[in-house]
Amino acid sequence: MSRAWKHQFDPEPWSPDDDAGPASRLDPGASAGRLMLRRFLRHRLAVLAALFLGLSYLSLPFVDFLAPYGANERDVEHLYAPPQPIHLFHEGRFVGPFVYPTAGRADLREYRWRYETDATRPMPLGFFCPGAPYRFLGLVETRLRLVCPPEGATLHLLGTDRLGRDILSRLAIGAQLSLTVGLLGIAVSFGIGVTLGGMAGYFGGRTDYAVQRLSEILKSLPELPLWLALSAAVPAHWSPVAVFLCISVILGLLDWPGLARAVRSRFLALREEDFVMAAELMGASPARIIGRHLLPNFASHLLASATLSIPAMILGETALSFLGLGLRPPATSWGVMLNDAQNLTAVETYPWVSAPMIPVILVVLSFNFLGDGLRDALDPYHDS
């Protein structure tokens, strides 16, 4: 049985024109790109990753200047030298950055190198001093380096490898190839993926069928043997740069199906949107529909997919070079360096030779975080 309700109302003054609330919690004046940027900045890990990657890529042209040694500069006195710390205080007195000299001897009982530090002689580091010659940006021959080892001592912050080359310097210089192989590879796979995926999505029917099956076949091939076969076909006498280009192209050629699929599904989804239909009914040509209505709405998604596929490229290069089929010495890349780490005894006795794993992990993780952040940010209208 229903009881009597008291009929009452809110006594506060009221006007019918009052806005019942903002139409949206988003800034009305901001463009979609701006909203995305704001949303991206909220994603801390992604911003951190972006900063890290940004710094890494920006420093690529200057690594020769930043690194204390050249990539193939050997120090036969210091084979497999362990990582060396930089000190600031000697016997309680501030000296500034310096190193203690080390001297190696062969331990013939355990059959390995042993290094002893002479902690009585602090040797200050030199800054903006001449080191081994290199070509700055490949143009100007120079010797100027940010930091150099003092005369009579060494500066191997991450130790040296089998041939006495400084691992830190090689890591920095190897980044030039390892980081760019991803970009080049992605450019290739992007080109193929967008073209084929776009065609599949726009024309549908047989084209779609053909592209889909082709990508499925590519995806079903065992990846590693295929890489191996293709890179074994690269002539051994080619220069490191030619091999590098070839490897990027190979990686790109095999990686496009994922991107093509992303493009195709996005295309199909967008084609069904009312605003695309509206443009069609207004009489817009296919070129205009693609260029003005479809592309802007999925360019950002492409960016995210591409970012997420770069790590695969970097890992691919590393894997190939590790197996000795990618880049070959004297070219320096992280994979080539890890080639040294194939020897288990070496890794056990001199663990620092596997140091290139660290940048590989960092870069791959950063790209993943960045990609995730981008993907989240790209849909600024979806409230989290």
Q: What is the DSSP string of 144-203?
A: EEEEEPPTT----TT-B-TT--BHHHHHHHHHHHHHHHHHHHHHHHHHHHHHHHHHHHHH
Q: Which of 110, 283, 330, 344 is the binder for other proteins (CB under 8 A)? A: 283
Q: Is 281 in the site for other proteins (CB under 8 A)?
A: yes
Is 222 near other proteins (CB under 8 A)? no
Lookup: tokens for 85: 């710390």
Alpha-carbon span 137 to 176, nearest angstrom: 12
Q: Can you say how many angstroms the Cα of residue 56 is from the centroid of all Cα atoms in its chain?
A: 9
Placement of tokens 């074994």 in the chain: 232
- When the beta carbons of 7 and 105 are compared against other proteins, the nearer one is 7
Nearer to other proteins, 20 or 233 (CB): 20
The reply on whether position 35 binds other proteins by CB under 8 A is yes
Question: Does residue 94 interact with other proteins by CB under 8 A?
Answer: no
Write down the least CB distance from residue 202 to other proteins, Å.
17
- The one segment of 29-37, 157-165, 355-363, 367-375 that binds other proteins by CB under 8 A: 29-37
Structure tokens, 54: 């940004």
> Should residue 93 be labelled a site residue for other proteins when binding is judged by CB under 8 A?
no
The maximal CA–CA distance of the chain, rounded, in angstroms, is 102
Judged by CB under 8 A, the stretch of 16-24, 100-108, 155-163, 234-242 that binds other proteins is: 16-24
Which residues is 117 bridged to in the sheet? 102
Binding of other proteins by 205 (CB under 8 A): no
Among 60, 187, 214, 279, binds other proteins (CB under 8 A): 279
Strand-pairing partners, residue 112, are 107
Residue 23 touches other proteins, criterion: CB under 8 A: yes
How far apart are CB 35 and other proteins at their closest, in Å?
7
CA atoms within 13 A on the CB side of 214: 18
- 3 state SS of 77: coil
Determine contact, residues 365/210, Cβ cutoff 8 Å. no
Q: Which of 216, 296, 351, 357 binds other proteins (CB under 8 A)?
A: 296
Instruction: Confirm or reject binding of residue 278 to other proteins (CB under 8 A).
Output: yes
List the one residue out of 362, 363, 356 whose CA is nearest residue 341.
356
Q: How many amino acids of this chain bind other proteins (CB under 8 A)?
A: 47
Taking the CA atoms of residue 292, residue 293, residue 298 and residue 303 in that order, the dihedral angle to the nearest 10 degrees is: 10
Answer for which of 76, 282, 287, 344 binds other proteins (CB under 8 A) is 282
Is position 77 an interface residue for other proteins (rule: CB under 8 A)?
no
The footprint of other proteins (CB under 8 A) covers: 1-10, 14-16, 20-32, 35, 273-275, 277-284, 288, 292-293, 296-297, 380-381, 383-384
